[in-house]
Amino acid sequence: MKTTYTVLVGILLLAAAVFFFFPKGEDSTDSIQEKMVLIPSGPTASKIQAFYMDVHPVTVMEFRSFIDATGYETSAETFGDAGVFDYETGRWSLKKGANWEYPQGRDQPKAPDNHPVTQVSWYDAKAYAEWVGKRLPAEAEWEHAARNGGQIDDAIYPWGSNTVKENDTYKANVWQGIFPLYNSVGDGYKNTSPVGVFGKTELGLEDMAGNVWEWCNDWKTSDADPESTNEMEKIQRGGSFLCDTKVCHGYTVYGKSSSTPETSLMNLGFRCVRDKN
Ligand SMILES: [Ca+2]
């Protein structure tokens, strides 16, 4: 009887310890898991199985949870610099000290918690995804999700219409004006915006167009032979706040970019997916 009582007390103490030391809160992996949307499978020929996708790009706060839990050092922190766009010159350059916390360098404001994390390499994104029990999306999965699971195959944007501005309301954080000389900031954001402020797609996804480019798992394929890859650059989808309709226009459901996997940029983030089964 005494032994049973001792074991019971031990279990209760252990349960209390788990509750107090590992509380289920905004920063826990449990809450990160919950913010996903079920994307239906594609046509048989596409071989896309149903999967879960993050509602929005991984935020600065979510990425901080990963750093705090693991002590992980990002590629930008290892290199000591990262890619920053200079609005004065209209050019990209490596800026010392720029990283996920200070995406435009230490002399510029810290990244807000509810904005997409940027200045993360493909390796950083993959490490985060593995930590949280997810993976990076295949490019075909990302586009299938952007097309509302195949419901808007003939559309240009995830919301299905042909314009980014409707009734004086913008549907994505992109560039207004003449890139790179003038940005009127008509949508209210010169750089990143809080995730979700431009609404949801019919499937419930946020920021599938604009805000930040998102890393995919695929290597860039050769234009001459789509079946072959040179394994030099990883695909990105979705466009960013630096995209306009004339120069970039990357925020369409089919727009894409690519970089070598160690690249970190102030307009490049990611979101994760998870198999349904
Ligand atoms: Ca903008």
Q: What is the pLDDT of residues 124-176, one digit of tens each?
A: 999 999 999 999 999 999 999 999 999 988 899 999 877 899 888 999 999 99
- How many angstroms does the Cα of residue 3 sit away from the middle of ligand 1? 66
- How many angstroms does the Cα of residue 34 sit away from the middle of ligand 1? 29
Listed residue (154, 62, 142, 132) closest to 100, CA to CA: 62
- How many angstroms does the Cα of residue 100 sit away from the middle of ligand 1? 20
pTM of the model: 0.87
Give me the mean pLDDT over the 33-37 stretch.
Answer: 84
For the domain covering 25-275, report its CATH number.
Answer: 3.90.1580.10
Distance of CA 255 to the CA centre of its chain: 15
- How many angstroms does the Cα of residue 48 sit away from the middle of ligand 1? 32
- How many angstroms does the Cα of residue 37 sit away from the middle of ligand 1? 26
- Calpha distance 235→258 (Å, rounded): 4
Domain boundaries, the chain: 25-275
Q: What is the pLDDT of residues 75-113, one digit of tens each?
A: 999 999 999 999 999 999 999 999 999 999 999 999 999
